[in-house]
Amino acid sequence: MSQTARHIKRTTDVFCSLVALVILSPVFFIIYVILKVEGCHSPLIRQERIGYKARPFTIYKFRTMHTDAESDGVPRLAVKNDDRLTPAGKILREYHLDELPQFWNVLTGDMSLVGPRPERKYFIDQINQVTTDYRYIYAMRPGLTSRATIENGYTDNMEKMLRRLEMDIEYLRTRSLWGDCKLIVRTLGSFLCGKKI
């Protein structure tokens, strides 16, 4: 991707994330109230993820799990029918609504609209035990959506992690503004049709 294309991509990120935060503010409020009614004292959570140039940053999400989900301090991937999910959290995760606060991460420059999903260091270390290819991911800002997000869904095992890595590296090799536009349209189409991705 050329320098000009990267500047256009960043400008688009800022504009779209700002518009999304304004337009979706009522949705944010509704989700916040639902989580509070459900008994969640802190509906918005912060997690450290590894982003562009291997720099850690704070990602924002709506809480989907009970507060003691990782009480032992060991990160665990969410799996199908995970009993750590709250009733509302299960719905939020199914439709990726828990990730809406990440438009703020896009606005601040930690993330982009399109790019590889950011991962926690704990799981990156596990991937690095299998392959050294994860280093290529650091050449890109992590994103809200990607081909892997659409086609591979949530990663709940190492096989899916490695498949996602392959798809993200392919994106790095072929990325373009037009390709990003197509991925955004695919993501919006899935979201508006209520498709679980």
Write the pLDDT tens digit of every residue in 162-189: 999 999 999 999 999 999 999 999 998 8
CA–CA gap between residue 41 and residue 43 (Å, rounded): 6
For residue 110, the model assigns a pLDDT of: 97
Q: Which residue has the higher pLDDT, 155 or 173?
A: 173
Q: What is the pTM of this model?
A: 0.89
Assess whether pLDDT exceeds 80 at residue 6.
yes
For residue 192, the model assigns a pLDDT of: 72
Residue position matching structure tokens 């690095």: 128
Q: Which helix (H) or strand (E) holds 47?
A: strand 44-50
Residue position matching structure tokens 């999304």: 20
**197 confidence band (pLDDT: 50, 70, 90):** low
